[in-house]
Every structure is written in structure tokens, then in C-alpha cells.
């Protein structure tokens, strides 16, 4: 398998890292982390010879010893060295010592007077809110580059099967509290602009933050002002949406966000506000938010074959879509404008491969996990096995090359005929993804040929190696929706 060698220095010491070209992003990050002898909460920054910061990922440009990169350990959380010291310097005081003084003072007053005086209570609240602002600013300033994913809170969890399908009351209450706290903070202009681009990285944001970002979309498209939407009503709506997306690998709340964010990006990129009524845009954004509500991770074919409650309720006719609608949709009229609205929602829905590879690839792993779960269940229950979900029939690259060639590109090219600026934003990245998976497919094929028969069941960590891809299995007309 092809490998990459990256030369870099850390603390003035020359090092070189070698990794397979298609190894997971997390492995590359871990490799650099151990080279820097950094702890799990430290933040790493990599500079190219020009002094620009570059992303630590499998897509790193290979270099030579004379053009080596520079690796730096930047921070370990807000309270610890060296960022704590840096912040203290920048602010002229040390926040944690101030907090401690306040705490001591409060304790003393409690002992002497029995109650916390209003003035101390007020000061305490100010310190708390200042800390919150500081932490969220620090966190926002790393966006797209350094938010430390090794903490694992936001990555796809391999333990979905250990969680209940529906979110628990505790889970919801915790997220709601966090969301309401955060929604009073101003989101920076930098983030607002980033949110309008298709390069937005969802993996850096936890659910409560995602709800704040959705709120920003409604505000920045002027829906809140135009339709006089009360902030509490919008917040309650977003929370209900969050609550009704289930704990499944792919069709979850983060997927709802990604689809909505792509829709939002398309609205800005195509300047749709000058071409369509605001109410139609409101319907589209809200449709995107609602489009997979209460998905259980099993598609229509499964619902019908397994005679689930949903299939019975909707007489086997698009049970899922009917269900999402029943939970949320208003039925649209059928003319050109409505077709465009539906196409844009569809494009947003299946647009992962238009995103940067480090954002798109983990989503593919999630999708395959959900697909394999369904086909495994179908096999166990003796139901017809959906070909493009069958782990014995598709591989990671084959699932993508067919889907990109036969579904994504034709659809995106039509759309770019209407909005030429999309060529650069969605078609080029999709072509890049096609090249990437074509290469991966070839590498797998070579690997398979070089293997002796007894090794043929081998499964690598990242790529599920199956049999040669079956054409009809690799090009589902709807990979996910």
C-alpha cells in the first residue's frame, strides 16, 4: 500500500512520519501527537515553511527534509500551562486565581453571615459568564483547524449499539440547558461566515453548539425578524427537532445539521435570496431540518419486508417519508420553483462527498455501519438483503465510485448548469473524491490479487474488504436520504 513520508521538526528536533495514504485522519493526528510527546488534551499546530498553519490529516502534502514542516504544542485547555499563562498575560490577570479568591470570600461570608450577599452572587455570575465567553472564544478561534478531536466527544461513536434508540430524558435536559446557556452568547462574525461555506466541518461541534448554529441560520437569513419569531419559540422548535432524531450511526441530528448547513450554504452561494421569496427559503431550510425526523436506521424496503408499524400505518407507501412528513412537512405544490426547492434539499442531503475529505470520510464510515447493520438484520431475519448494503457485496471505495459517477455527478452537473458558481464549490470536490476512491479501489484490487487464498477473508481496520463489487450494488439511486 502506498505510504507518505512527512518531514518535520518538533522542539528543534528533526522527525519523520510515515503513514499509508488512506489511513484514518485520527491515526495521523495520533502519530504527530506522540512525536510531540503531547497529552490527549494538548492542541497541535503544524506550520509549512512559509509559516502558514496546515491541517494535520492524511492529505498532508509530502515534503523533503529541506522543506520540512514545524510542529508545535500550543495549549492544554484554558486553565493549564501554557495557555493559562498566555491568557493571564493578555488579560492582565489570572482568571483561576480570581475565581479562587471569590470562592474563599464567599465561604467566609457564608460562615459569618449565613447567606451569600447579592453583591457576591452578582460578581460570581459575572465571573462565570466571563469564563464561559472566554472558553467559547478560545474554542471558536480554533475552528476548522485545531479543535482537539482526540477528546472524542464529537467523533462518530462506535458504541451506538450500547445507547438507546431514543434519546433519554437526562441526555435531552443536559443538552437543552447547555444550548440555552450558549444561545445568549454572541456568535462571532468569523463563524457566521464559515457557516455559509460548504467546507464547514461538523465534527468540531457538539449537539448544543449545533443548535446554536441552526439558530444563527434562521437569524442571518432574516427569518427571525421577517416572521417575528420569538427566540424562545425558535429554541423550543430546535430542541424538539434535536430530541426527535435518534441515536443511530448516520441518520441522526448531526446528519440533519449537515443537510441544513449545505442547504444554507447553497442559498448564499447561489444568491437565492434575490431569486426566491423569503417564505420559500424558510420552508426549504425548515424542510432540511425536519427531513429525516425519527429515522430508525432501517430503510423503506426493510420497513415493508419486516412489516413494521410504519409500513402498516402507511400501507407500504414510502413509510419513512410519510413519517418524516407526519412529524414535520407541509406538502409543496408542483411547479418549477417547487422542483428546484426539492432538488436543492436532495442535493444538500446527499452532498457529503462535496465536503473536504476529512469531513466526508467519517460520514461514509457511519453510513456503511448503518447499512451493514440493516443487511445483517435482513440476513438474520431471512428478509431480502438490500444489495448496496451487503457487506459481502460492496467495499468502501466501490460504494462511493458508483454513487458519485451515476448519481452525484449527473445531478450536480445539472444544477451547476443553472448556477455556474457551483462548479467550483460542489463539482470539483466531488471529482476529487471520485479520484480518491478510484485509487483506493485499485489499491484494494491489487492487494486482493497479491494475497494467497487462505488470507482472503482478511479485513483491514479501515476498509472492509469484500468480493469484487457488483455493479448494481455499487450504484443505488439513493445512497442515503
Q: Is 481 near Mn ion (CB under 5 A)?
A: yes
Nearer to Mn ion by Cβ, of 204 and 351: the residue is 351
Q: Is 42 near Mn ion (CB under 5 A)?
A: no
In this chain, which stretch among 10-18, 27-35, 172-180, 292-300 interacts with Mn ion, using CB under 5 A? 292-300
For the CB of residue 62, give the shortest distance to Mn ion in the complex, in Å. 36
- Full strand arrangement of the beta sheet holding 13-20: 13-20, 3-10, 69-75, 43-47, 53-54
Q: Is 294 near Mn ion (CB under 5 A)?
A: no
User: Rounded to an integer, what is the distance from CA 394 to the centroid of its chain?
Assistant: 24
List of residues 6+ apart from 255 with CB closer than 8 A: 245, 292, 363
For the CB of residue 480, give the shortest distance to Mn ion in the complex, in Å. 6
Separation between Cα atoms, residue 54 and residue 72, nearest integer Å: 12
- Convert residues 295-334 into a mask of x (bound to Mn ion by CB under 5 A) and - (unbound): ----------------------------------------
Nearer to Mn ion by Cβ, of 10 and 293: the residue is 293
Q: Which of 478, 408, 472 is nearest to 437 (CA)?
A: 408
In this chain, which stretch among 104-112, 308-316, 334-342, 346-354 interacts with Mn ion, using CB under 5 A? 346-354
For the CB of residue 288, give the shortest distance to Mn ion in the complex, in Å. 9
Q: What is the DSSP letter of 250?
A: S
Catalytic residue among 154, 251, 291, 425: 251
Q: Read off the C-alpha cell for 276.
A: 426566491
Q: Read off the C-alpha cell for 457.
A: 477473508
| Contact positions with Mn ion (CB under 5 A) in 353-372 | none
User: Rounded to an integer, what is the distance from CA 50 to the centroid of its chain?
Assistant: 30
Nearer to Mn ion by Cβ, of 36 and 238: the residue is 238
Give 8's strand partners: 15, 69
Q: In angstroms, what CA-CA distances link 81 with 53, 73, 78, 85, 89?
A: 22, 11, 8, 6, 12
The string of DSSP codes covering 143-180 is: TTTT--GGG-SSSPPTTGGGS-SSPPHHHHHHHHHHHH
Nearer to Mn ion by Cβ, of 28 and 404: the residue is 404
Nearer to Mn ion by Cβ, of 217 and 288: the residue is 288
Nearer to Mn ion by Cβ, of 148 and 481: the residue is 481
Q: Is 349 near Mn ion (CB under 5 A)?
A: yes
For the CB of residue 295, give the shortest distance to Mn ion in the complex, in Å. 8
Burial per residue of 335-363, b for 16 or more beta-carbon CB atoms within 10 angstroms, e otherwise: eeeeebbeebbbbbbbbbbbbbbbbbbbb
Nearer to Mn ion by Cβ, of 292 and 378: the residue is 292
By three-state DSSP, how is residue 89 classified? Answer: helix
In this chain, which stretch among 33-41, 185-193, 285-293, 331-339 interacts with Mn ion, using CB under 5 A? 285-293
Could you say which of 201, 292, 361, 441 contacts Mn ion (CB under 5 A)? 292
Residues binding Mn ion: what is the number (CB under 5 A)? 3
In this chain, which stretch among 32-40, 42-50, 110-118, 289-297 interacts with Mn ion, using CB under 5 A? 289-297
List of residues 6+ apart from 59 with CB closer than 8 A: 357, 358
336 is catalytic: no
- Convert residues 99-138 into a mask of x (bound to Mn ion by CB under 5 A) and - (unbound): ----------------------------------------
Q: Read off the C-alpha cell for 19.
A: 503513514
Q: Phi/psi at 14 (nearest 5 deg)?
A: -75, 140
For the CB of residue 347, give the shortest distance to Mn ion in the complex, in Å. 12
Separation between Cα atoms, residue 259 and residue 243, nearest integer Å: 17
For the CB of residue 350, give the shortest distance to Mn ion in the complex, in Å. 8
For the CB of residue 367, give the shortest distance to Mn ion in the complex, in Å. 10
Q: Which residues are catalytic?
A: 251
Site residues (vs Mn ion, CB under 5 A): 292, 349, 481
Amino acid at each position: 500500500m502506498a505510504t507518505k513520508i512527512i518531514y518535520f521538526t518538533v522542539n528543534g528536533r528533526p522527525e519523520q512520519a510515515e503513514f499509508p495514504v488512506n489511513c484514518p485522519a485520527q491515526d495521523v493526528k495520533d502519530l504527530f501527537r506522540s512525536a510531540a510527546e503531547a497529552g490527549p488534551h494538548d492542541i497541535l499546530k503544524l506550520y509549512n515553511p512559509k509559516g502558514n498553519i496546515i491541517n494535520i490529516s492524511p492529505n498532508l502534502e509530502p515534503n523533503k527534509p529541506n522543506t520540512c514542516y514545524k510542529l508545535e504544542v500550543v495549549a492544554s485547555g484554558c486553565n493549564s500551562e501554557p495557555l493559562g499563562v498566555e491568557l493571564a498575560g493578555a488579560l492582565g490577570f489570572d482568571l483561576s486565581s480570581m475565581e479562587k479568591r471569590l470562592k474563599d470570600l464567599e465561604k467566609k461570608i457564608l460562615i459569618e453571615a449565613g447567606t451569600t450577599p447579592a453583591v457576591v452572587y452578582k460578581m460570581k455570575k459575572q465571573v462565570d459568564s466571563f469564563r464561559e465567553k472566554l472558553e467559547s472564544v478560545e474554542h471558536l478561534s480554533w475552528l476548522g483547524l485545531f479543535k482537539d478531536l482526540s477528546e472524542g466527544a464529537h467523533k462518530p461513536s462506535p458504541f451506538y449499539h450500547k445507547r438507546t434508540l431514543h434519546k433519554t430524558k437526562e441526555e435531552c435536559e443536559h443538552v437543552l440547558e447547555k444550548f440555552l446557556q450558549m444561545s445568549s452568547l454572541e456568535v462571532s462574525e468569523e463563524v457566521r461566515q464559515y457557516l455559509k461555506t460548504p467546507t464547514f466541518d461538523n465534527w468540531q461541534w457538539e449537539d448544543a453548539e449545533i443548535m446554536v448554529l441552526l439558530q444563527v441560520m434562521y437569524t442571518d437569513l432574516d427569518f427571525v425578524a421577517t416572521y417575528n419569531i420569538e427566540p424562545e419559540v425558535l429554541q423550543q422548535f430546535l430542541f424538539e427537532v434535536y430530541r426527535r432524531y435518534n441515536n443511530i450511526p448516520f441518520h441522526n441530528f448531526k446528519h440533519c445539521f449537515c443537510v441544513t448547513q449545505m442547504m444554507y450554504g447553497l442559498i448564499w452561494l447561489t444568491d437565492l435570496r434575490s431569486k426566491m421569496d423569503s417564505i420559500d427559503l424558510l420552508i426549504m431550510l425548515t424542510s432540511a431540518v425536519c427531513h429525516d425526523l425519527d429515522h430508525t436506521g432501517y430503510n423503506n424496503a426493510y420497513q415493508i419486508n419486516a412489516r413494521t408499524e410504519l409500513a402498516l400505518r402507511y400501507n407500504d407507501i414510502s413509510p419513512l417519508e410519510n413519517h418524516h412528513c407526519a412529524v414535520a412537512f407541509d406538502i409543496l405544490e408542483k411547479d418549477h420553483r417547487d422542483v428546484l426547492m426539492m432538488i436543492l434539499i436532495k442535493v444538500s442531503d446527499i452532498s457529503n462527498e462535496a465536503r473536504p475529505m476529512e469531513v466526508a470520510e467519517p460520514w461514509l464510515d457511519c453510513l456503511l455501519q448503518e447499512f451493514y447493520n440493516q443487511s445483517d438484520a435482513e440476513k438474520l431475519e431471512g428478509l431480502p438483503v438490500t444489495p448496496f448494503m451487503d457487506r459481502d457485496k460492496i467495499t468502501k471505495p466501490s460504494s462511493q465510485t458508483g454513487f458519485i459517477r451515476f448519481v452525484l455527478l449527473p445531478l450536480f452537473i445539472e444544477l451547476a448548469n443553472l448556477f455556474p458558481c457551483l462548479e467550483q464549490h460542489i463539482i470539483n470536490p466531488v471529482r476529487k473524491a471520485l479520484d480518491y476512491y478510484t485509487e483506493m479501489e485499485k489499491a484494494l484490487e491489487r492487494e486482493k490479487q497479491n494475497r494467497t487464498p487462505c488470507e482472503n477473508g482478511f479485513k483491514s481496520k479501515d476498509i472492509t474488504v469484500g468480493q469484487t463489487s457488483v455493479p448494481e450494488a455499487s450504484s443505488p439511486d439513493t445512497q442515503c436520504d
